[in-house]
Amino acid sequence: MRAIQWYRIGLLTPINYDKFNSFWIGLEALNSVLEKKLNLKRGFKKIKCDKCTNEITLEVITTAGVKALISERMGDAKVFRRFKKLRVNLMHSTCDLRQINEEANQLIPKIAEILFRAICFALDIQD
């Protein structure tokens, strides 16, 4: 399971940005499993070709499984929003690195715990 590998990488890396990203990628790797276990339906979007007007249906990939696990099952929608915001700030350099580092320091223990719990949930291991 790739999520376990990302969990190990997150634990072993000394750099906060890499820790957070490793744990987040681990959660994303579990997303489709979480969607199935939580009975979430995938979204689809229809797109028309500008030239031939044929219509195709594309599956919309989201983090709905991760969001449902954190927001609904663990009851912490606020922390999910903080994770998403930090991920955007890290990946797109949208704010000062000192601010990002402070937020990462605060969120790393929580995202590590959530990834561990998500792995347990995916493997049907009780808390």
Q: What is the pLDDT of residues 55-113, one digit of tens each?
A: 988 877 789 999 999 999 999 999 999 999 999 999 898 888 888 889 999 999 999 99
CA-CA distance, 76 to 71, in Å (whole number)? 5
93 belongs to a structural domain: yes
CA-CA distance, 17 to 64, in Å (whole number)? 23
Q: Which domain holds residue 34?
A: 2-122
Q: Tell which residue, 2, 59, 68, has the closest CA to residue 35.
A: 68
127 belongs to a structural domain: no
Domain count, the chain: 1
Instruction: Kindly report the pTM of this predicted structure.
Output: 0.85
82 belongs to a structural domain: yes
74 belongs to a structural domain: yes
Element spanning 23, H or E: helix 16-37
How far is Cα of residue 104 from the mean position of the Cα atoms in its chain? Answer: 15
